[in-house]
Amino acid sequence: MSKRNTKLDESLSVQKLLFDTEVAEGIFDISLGFRQCLSRTIHSCRKDRYQIAGEVSRLTQGSFSKDMLDKYTGSDTSYGIRAEALPAVCHTLGSLEPFRYLLEPLGSDVLNPEDRDLVRLARLEEQKRNLDAEIMQLRAKRGIR
């Protein structure tokens, strides 16, 4: 008869476990709020739901109907919009609000298209600072001025 070797983790490491996070329980329960956000965005775009569904169908080359849109904005959580369709919906609505709502629990936001060049500039400047610092370290190491 073999003995089972069961090891208990008795380490003193302060490293957190993979799924040990400090995120509050239920923070990602955003289904109903997302549906309300989507509904408000649809209402404010001034297009009717048939127009929206037709445009999303055309953009995704898939089936997307007014009834589906109604279910996605209703309170029945057994229906949910596919992630692949959401960019087409946002494009058709002319709004990034649904994406903003989804990213809010992560503390993130959507970048407006007109601000892309500013973010690219900031990233390039950060890379330049890192390269300059590395060059200075190498010169100091070799005694080069």
CATH of the domain at 61: 1.10.260
Helix residue ranges, H only, the chain: 31-44, 49-60, 66-73, 86-93, 97-103, 116-142
- pLDDT 10s digits, 69-122: 999 999 999 999 999 999 999 999 999 999 999 999 988 999 888 999 999 999
In this structure, are 106 and 117 located in the same domain?
A: no
Q: Is residue 126 part of a domain?
A: yes
**Phi, psi of 76, rounded to the nearest 5 degrees:** -80, 110
Shared-domain flag, residues 119 and 68 = no
Q: Is the pTM of this model over 0.75?
A: no
Q: What is the pLDDT of residue 25?
A: 80
For residue range 6-37, list pLDDT tens digits in order: 555 555 555 555 555 676 787 888 899 999 99
Looking at residue 54, the DSSP 8-state letter turns out to be H
Domain co-membership, 30 together with 50: yes
The count of structural domains within the chain is 2
Please write the tens of the pLDDT for every residue from 32-51: 999 999 999 999 999 999 99
Q: 40 with 103, same domain?
A: yes
Residue 28: the pLDDT is 85
Domain interval for residue 121 = 111-145
Residue 16 lies in a domain: no
